[in-house]
Structure 1
Amino acid sequence: MPIRRIKGLDSLYDEVADYDLVIVPDAPFASALNRRLDRPHFGSFAITPRRLAAGRREQAEDRLAFLEVIDRTDHDWRAVAYAIGNALQCWEHQGSLDAILEYEGYSDETTREVVDVMRTLPTTSKRLAQTVIDDERSIAVVGYDQLTNLERSILPETFDRVELFTEEEFEQPQFHVFDSATDIVAALLDTVTDQNAERVAVVLDGGSRYSSLVESALEAADVPFYGGPGFIEDPHHRAFIRLLRIGFRGTETTVGECRPILAETGSDVPIDDNQKRLDTVERPGLEWLREFRRSVEEQTFSEALGTYARKADVELARFDEELRTLGIAEKPVTGGGVDRLSYYLQTYEVPVDRDNEGVLLADAKSSAHVDRPVVFHLGMGREWTHSAPQRPWVDTEAQFERYIGNFQRLLQSGDRQYYLVQDTAGGEPVTPCLYFGDLIDEEFERFGDLDSVHHRRRPRSTSVGFDRESLDVESETVETISQSSLNSYVNSPRDYFFGKLLDAPDQERFVEGNLFHDFAEFYVSHPDVVANTDIDELIDAMLEEAKPFFSSADETLRRRKYRIGLELITEYLDDHGPESDAFLTGTSGWGENFFAAYFDEAVDSPLTERWFEDHALGLKGKIDLVNAPDRLLDYKSGGKKRTSQIVKRAAIDPPADTPNFQAALYLTYYRAVQPNEQLEFTFFHFLEPMDDVIAGEADLDDALTTVTYYPFTFDEYVGSRDAYETLLDGYNDCRETFTELGHSAYSDSMRQLSFPETTDRNELRASEFAEEFTAAVDSGTSDDVDAEKGADQAIRELNGVRKRSFFREDLDAFESFVDERLEELNDRRAGEERFPVDGLAGEPNYRRVDNRDLLLAGESGD
């Protein structure tokens, strides 16, 4: 069915002006008609059934019923809230409070007691059920179908129905399609000012990202608004609830979990401490929190609120009043009590005093009419669709008709309507509100399929707010990039951007990893100092340094972990450490070293923690150990990766799901230091053999993964003596076949062929190369060997080498890749485009994202 045109308020008023009483489905609609009243009128003119029955503004009867029931009974608060919700909904749809007791499965003891209590309460529903309008007056009912059975029960036998809709079709405005939610809010702020705020309404989903974005933007622009955040959205109210929860979280509570409390109380604690346990961080701004936790169960809820209010220097009289209304103000704070209080505040809307001035923010699922000249509808996605009530007492078809009727009215609110939407988010189409599917005849999947206009991002010089081009400052150019930054940037440029803007807290894995790295660096310079020190002394020092991040219950396991890590690092460096540093120039050292400070000894070996920054290549980094002129080593405390995994994660076309360019980046730099040399980069996963060490079966080689770089192309490699020797060490048929064929014949064959670029085994086997190579091998060997199988195994073996190694063309391509990324990065830093959420491979791997809370769900951010 098409969108039916709603009658204009002026024409509708003309139609009902002569009636004594006009019943309408919602309060804003009644107010709009009453403002058009042009004659003296005694009593109500346009009014909702509930307002008429109550004789006053409607109150949240579910909350009032809840407060009364918990005062009279000892039932669980959640069970009470559930029963009240069912009873009121059933009452609304069936017209009787006792109707809920007729439904098996819903008529339990709690529900029966709830019904008994609600019979005694002066609720609006009770007044509605007991009221019938005097039919001596002339009565018009506008939008009868939008009324529920309980609301209809107030009507007399005689009344006139007035339709809300005409027979005409509403020609809806175009959808204005934007690239992101932030662009939509920016467009809104281009129109709304403090001078015209009283004429504007914004309809949005109250639980969506639009709500917080709009509220923040209006507040920042000093534009008044109302209808937005409720009681529990008050930052101090939320912080107090978090403070109560912190009181029962035990010794594992981190400083980061307290951060919202610290922000509201003005406590300045560095972000470095975020992941440290609260009990271990000695800072003035945290002492009151520790004291609160120690004494929380000795305080009443009112006393705890007073503690917070004094620390935050605010008055929280309204919260204290609500605690007294709940009957818990003078009760001791308990974990269960905090859970109940939190549930109550999340379930019920606590009344707040508002200044009803400025932009009206209306929730899309609780509004049907917005009486403002200009109405912006934001988002309009599937979140605007109501969830159908799944209860046996609900006539779902009639309820759907109410929903879709209200939706049509909402679309037409205001003299001018603007629909501001996104076509895609997170690379996926935004599904329009499902009601559109019943109202629009044409087929569509997204807003762009409908009558729409796309608004591309405006130049920054015309955007609202901070004007980058008004400042005569050029953005600083990034000339080099590290492997960690490159990994982050390729995964998600937006996450990389936030990582550069924001300080990152110290983390347990980094602190422990740094301790092991520092030990390895120190040991290369001072093996004698370590040899003359009891290892338990070193472990104690490490445990003390990492103490803020772990529980004392974990100390035994960590002590074992530290011992094994130190012993394996020592064993490796004793057996495979560098013999000389004569091939390197000296360095001035890099950063601080925990063990150097502990022993008061300098670490100045050019072999360890060697910093490099090459502007020609655009690369920078820190090599853990230069083991030899052609061998680099990196210490890893995490799990071991196969060589093929390391190479695969360095892919650039397309990048891997978990990009990691460390090996490629370091080898690219080091081949410039040692040109035309075969190089090795070894990852030493020194904790990998931990289980074997405990079992007495450790093999240090199991902790090593080595990637080789060949200073020639793969095509040059496949015909070389090295490649031939690799085949002789391979599978049985491969070894027998190529032993008989000989190196000369093998090399001649390879010079005439070109190995395919694909690494897919099935594609290789089906290639023309495989066919010609097999024929050449077969013609050069006797029937005593299985040449076909041997050739197949040879192709697999050579392909395996390619998948486990870097060749000249691989690192050449990586150099170009880095150049492209740096150029792209600097363009974005200069403001030519935004940093997108999606990386080169599409949607980022969110397990590798550090600033997840700052990446809006469903926003690609092109």
Structure 2
Amino acid sequence: MPVTRAKPLDSLYDEVRDYDLVIVPDAPLASGLNRRLDRAHLGIFAITPRRLAAGRRERAEDRSAFLELVTTTDLEWKQAAYAIGNTLQCWEHQGRVDAVLDYDAYADTATETTVDQLSTLDTTSRRLGEYQIDDSKDVAVVGHDQLTTLERSILPTQYDTFDPFTDAAFDRPPFHIFDSSTAIVDAVLGIVSADNAEDVAVVADRGSEYATFVPSALEAADIPFIGGPGFADEQHHRGFVQFLRAATRGTETRVKTIRSVLSNLGIDVDVEHDDKRQHDVDADSLTWFQEFSAEIGETTFAGALTAYERQAGISLDAFRDELEALGIATDDVTRQGIDRLEYYLQSYEVPVDREDEGVLLADAKSAAYVDRPVVFYLGLDEAWTHSPPRRPWVDRDAEFTRNLTQFQLLLQNGVEQYYLVQDTIGGSPATPCLYFEDLLDDDFERFSDLDTVTHGRTFSATKDGFEKESLDVSPTQIDTVSQSSLSTYVNSPRDYLFSRLVDGPDKDYFKEGNLFHDFAEFYVNHPDLIDEETIEDLVDVMLEEAESFVRRVDRPTRRTKYRIGLETIVELLDERTPEGDDLLTPNSGWGQNFFAAHFDREVDSPFTERWFENEDLGLKGKIDLVHGPTHLLDYKSGSRKRASRVVKNSALDPPSDTPNFQALLYLAHRRSERPGERLQFTFFHFLETLDDVVAGEADLDETLTTVEYYPTQFEEHARSRATFEKLRDDGAKNCQKTLSKIEYTDYQAAFESVPLPATRDSDELIDSEFGQAMQTRLQECVGEYKYVSSGCKQLLRQLARVRSQNYFEEDLDGFETFVTERMTELNHRRAGEERFPVNGLAGEPNYRRVDNRDLLLDHD
């Protein structure tokens, strides 16, 4: 069925203008007809049944009934709300207050109590049931089918009905598709102004983001509006409930969990404290909240509200009135009490004073008429679809027809209608309102399947758009990059950008990692000050330093972790004493050492915490320990990774989905200082054997992962006599047996016939042309025996293993080129010549390694 054209209000008025009384289904239609009254008329002209019967503006009788029941009966709040909802709804559909008791599934004690109360309570439904229009009046009813059974009960014996629709079809305007809800709101503000506000209405689902965005945008633009957020949506009403929640959460609450509450109260806490337990944060701004939280168990709701008002510098008299109406103002604050208060605010609409001029903000599910010349419809998605009550007294087919009729009327308000929608939300197609399936002949699944106009990114609120102001500022060039920044940039350039712009909180693993690093540096400088007894004391010091991050229940476990970590570091440094190196960069240690301050000693070893900036290569970093002239070591508190995993994570083409270039970067810098030398880089995972130490089975070697740099091309290394001898002496059994029967020149000949492929995969190497050439050569020299074929595969696997666990000349050369390309690209983007993309070199970023996930848009 097509959308049926609604009668214009002027035409509808012409049809009913001569009647004494006009009954209509909703208040905006009544107001529209009354504004068109052009003759003298005694008394009421157009009105809804409820307002006629009550003789006043309709009130939220469900809320009034709830306040009555919770203060005069023993019913639980949710029990009372459930019974009230069922009773009023059944009354509306069946016409009797006690009709709900006809249904056995609902006729319980709570419902009987509710029926008794509502029978005597002065509600609009009770007045409606008792009211009857005088038969002497000439009555017109517009939209008779839109009235409920209870509303129809007031009608006289004789009355005339008028259909709000014509026989013609409505020529629906196109849907305007925008990229985002923000773009839609910008489009509205591009047309609406304080001068034309009285001519504009905005219709949106009350539960959508538009219900918040539009009022905020209008307020920011000093454009008046009628309607908008309700009582519970007011910033400090919502904020007070969140404040009570935060104050009763206990001492384990992290600052980031309550940051919005603190902001509402004007309490500024540095972002570095986000992951700390609020009770242990030493910040003057947080003292008031900490003291209030400690006393919350002895505070009443009214007292808590007073404290909130004083801290926020506001007055919440309306909220205090609600606390008193609910009878809880003098009750002590408890979690159960907060639950009940929040339930009430979520369930009932508390009346608020509204402005009576400006843009009209209408709820998509509340009324069918919006009497404004220009109407914007925002969203029009599935949230606009009513959910008919699943109750036995509700005729679901009739309810659907009533809602469909209301939707058709709503779509046609105004002289100009604008349907502003999104085709996708969160990367998924937006589902149009389900009523369109009955009203449109087209087959569609999304808005873009219909008659649409697509709009690009909105840049301004004026028809000419914002003009960009030219700023004569030269961007700062970045000359060096650290391994962590490079890894972040390769994973997601956009995440790298935000990591430079947005401060992040301190993390427990950063705090603990720094403490372990400081201890290792201090021990290298002052090993004579550390013994078993001292370590126990330092564990206490570390635990105290990190306590703001650690839950009390976790502290015994952390104590064991800290002790074993310190002991493992001592064991390594005792067994493998660092050696001197005259080629170190001249910088002293990096930053302040916690344990040096604790013992009041200096740390300035030539081996530890050596900072470097290598502008020739564009690299910078901090070497934890120079273990020897050709050996660097880095402390790690995380899980150990094999050498092959380290090399794989530093892949360049394409990059790994867990990029980490630390070993490559440090070795490249070290090569520039010691060219032509074989170098080593060791990751010391000092907590790797934590469980083994507890069990008494620890092996220090299990904490170490070493990758080596060979100052030669891999092919040269693989074909060398040294490699041949090592394979013959230390290779697998069949490999040794095969090579023992040939000379080095036979082995070397295989490399001269076919080039060695650039692969770290053993299967690829075996199946390659080179692999086949090696097997042919060995069989020619030894014979076509089974062990020769097996030995050849063992040889090739060993070569692939060496290639996958170490770095060679081409690897560091390629990395230096890679860094140069990234630096050029990075500075190009910093200069504004292109955006920082979300996707990295490997495509979609690994979001588990993204630090600013909430700032990255998936569809961008």
With normalisation by structure 1, the TM-score equals: 0.88
Secondary structure at the aligned position of 1:632 is classed as: strand
Instruction: Evaluate the alpha carbon distance shift between residue 512 and residue 779 of structure 1 in structure 2; reply closer, same or farther with a 3 A threshold.
Output: same
1:689 Cα deviation after fit: 0.8
Tell me, yes or no, if structure 1 residue 71 matches structure 2 residue 71: yes
| Whole-angstrom distance in 2 between the partners of 1:716 and 1:92 | 90
Encode CA deviations 1:256-296: one digit per residue, 9 max, x unaligned: 34433432333343332333333323433233223222322
Partner of 1:163: 163
Contact 2:203 2:378 in 1 (8 A): yes
Instruction: Evaluate the alpha carbon distance shift between residue 763 and residue 296 of structure 1 in structure 2; reply closer, same or farther with a 3 A threshold.
Output: same
1:59 Cα deviation after fit: 1.9
Contact 2:444 2:450 in 1 (8 A): yes
| Whole-angstrom distance in 2 between the partners of 1:447 and 1:84 | 40
| Whole-angstrom distance in 1 between the partners of 2:782 and 2:823 | 53
Tell me, yes or no, if structure 1 residue 288 matches structure 2 residue 288: yes
1:534 Cα deviation after fit: 1.4
Partner of 2:259: 259
1:129 Cα deviation after fit: 3.7
1:536 Cα deviation after fit: 1.9
Contact 1:634 1:683 in 2 (8 A): yes
Secondary structure at the aligned position of 1:611 is classed as: strand
Q: Which has the higher mean CA deviation after the structures are superposed, 56-65 or 15-24?
A: 15-24
| Whole-angstrom distance in 2 between the partners of 1:232 and 1:581 | 68
Encode CA deviations 1:61-90: one digit per residue, 9 max, x unaligned: 222222122112333322332333333344
Encode CA deviations 1:704-733: one digit per residue, 9 max, x unaligned: 233445556666666566776569866656
1:499 Cα deviation after fit: 3.5
Contact 1:836 1:861 in 2 (8 A): no
Partner of 2:706: 706
| Whole-angstrom distance in 1 between the partners of 2:3 and 2:29 | 19
Q: Which has the higher mean CA deviation after the structures are superposed, 711-720 or 98-107?
A: 711-720
Q: Which has the higher mean CA deviation after the structures are superposed, 791-800 or 75-84?
A: 791-800
Contact 2:255 2:277 in 1 (8 A): yes
Tell me, yes or no, if structure 1 residue 622 matches structure 2 residue 622: yes
| Whole-angstrom distance in 2 between the partners of 1:444 and 1:338 | 46
| Whole-angstrom distance in 2 between the partners of 1:462 and 1:828 | 29
Instruction: Evaluate the alpha carbon distance shift between residue 139 and residue 265 of structure 1 in structure 2; reply closer, same or farther with a 3 A threshold.
Output: same
Which letter maps to 2:19?
Y
Q: Which has the higher mean CA deviation after the structures are superposed, 343-352 or 487-496?
A: 487-496
Partner of 1:307: 307
| Whole-angstrom distance in 1 between the partners of 2:18 and 2:729 | 104
| Whole-angstrom distance in 1 between the partners of 2:588 and 2:624 | 15
Partner of 1:356: 356
Encode CA deviations 1:91-114: one digit per residue, 9 max, x unaligned: 444444444444454444433433
1:602 Cα deviation after fit: 2.4
Aligned positions, number: 859
Which letter maps to 1:620?
K
Instruction: Evaluate the alpha carbon distance shift between residue 334 and residue 604 of structure 1 in structure 2; reply closer, same or farther with a 3 A threshold.
Output: same
| Whole-angstrom distance in 1 between the partners of 2:159 and 2:652 | 74
1:490 Cα deviation after fit: 4.8
Secondary structure at the aligned position of 1:534 is classed as: helix
Partner of 1:860: 858
Instruction: Evaluate the alpha carbon distance shift between residue 53 and residue 530 of structure 1 in structure 2; reply closer, same or farther with a 3 A threshold.
Output: same
Partner of 2:346: 346
1:690 Cα deviation after fit: 0.7
Q: Which has the higher mean CA deviation after the structures are superposed, 696-705 or 318-327?
A: 696-705
Which letter maps to 1:500?
R
Contact 2:588 2:610 in 1 (8 A): no
| Whole-angstrom distance in 2 between the partners of 1:55 and 1:646 | 80
Contact 1:736 1:785 in 2 (8 A): no
Higher Cα Rg: structure 1 or 2? Answer: 2
Contact 2:754 2:770 in 1 (8 A): yes
Encode CA deviations 1:32-76: one digit per residue, 9 max, x unaligned: 232222223333333333333333222222222221221123333
Contact 2:750 2:770 in 1 (8 A): no
Q: Which has the higher mean CA deviation after the structures are superposed, 684-693 or 420-429?
A: 420-429
Secondary structure at the aligned position of 1:252 is classed as: coil
| Whole-angstrom distance in 1 between the partners of 2:22 and 2:425 | 44
Contact 1:427 1:843 in 2 (8 A): no
Secondary structure at the aligned position of 1:38 is classed as: coil
Q: Which has the higher mean CA deviation after the structures are superposed, 456-465 or 617-626?
A: 456-465
Partner of 1:30: 30
| Whole-angstrom distance in 1 between the partners of 2:586 and 2:263 | 46
Structure 2 residues without counterparts, runs of 5 or longer: none
Q: How does 1:153-552 map to 2 (within 5 A)?
A: 153-156=153-156, 158-387=158-387, 389-457=389-457, 469-531=469-531, 534-552=534-552
Encode CA deviations 1:158-214: one digit per residue, 9 max, x unaligned: 444433334444343333333333333333333333333333333334434444443
1:461 Cα deviation after fit: 12
CA RMSD of aligned residues (A): 3.8
Encode CA deviations 1:609-654: one digit per residue, 9 max, x unaligned: 3333344544433332233344333222223334444444445666
Instruction: Evaluate the alpha carbon distance shift between residue 112 and residue 225 of structure 1 in structure 2; reply closer, same or farther with a 3 A threshold.
Output: same
| Whole-angstrom distance in 2 between the partners of 1:735 and 1:33 | 102
Q: How does 1:699-738 map to 2 (within 5 A)?
A: 699-709=699-709, 725=726
Contact 1:837 1:844 in 2 (8 A): yes
| Whole-angstrom distance in 1 between the partners of 2:822 and 2:179 | 23
Structure 1 residues without counterparts, runs of 5 or longer: none
Secondary structure at the aligned position of 1:239 is classed as: helix
Partner of 2:57: 57
Contact 2:62 2:88 in 1 (8 A): yes
Partner of 1:591: 591
Q: How does 1:666-705 map to 2 (within 5 A)?
A: 666-675=666-675, 678-705=678-705
| Whole-angstrom distance in 2 between the partners of 1:717 and 1:723 | 7
Partner of 1:6: 6
Encode CA deviations 1:396-438: one digit per residue, 9 max, x unaligned: 3333334443333333333223333333444443343344444
Partner of 1:785: 786
| Whole-angstrom distance in 1 between the partners of 2:142 and 2:653 | 64
Contact 1:707 1:806 in 2 (8 A): yes
1:440 Cα deviation after fit: 3.8
Partner of 1:573: 573
| Whole-angstrom distance in 1 between the partners of 2:96 and 2:651 | 68
Secondary structure at the aligned position of 1:22 is classed as: strand
Contact 1:204 1:363 in 2 (8 A): yes
Secondary structure at the aligned position of 1:469 is classed as: coil
Q: Which has the higher mean CA deviation after the structures are superposed, 503-512 or 135-144?
A: 135-144
How high is the sequence identity, in percent, across the aligned residues?
Answer: 58
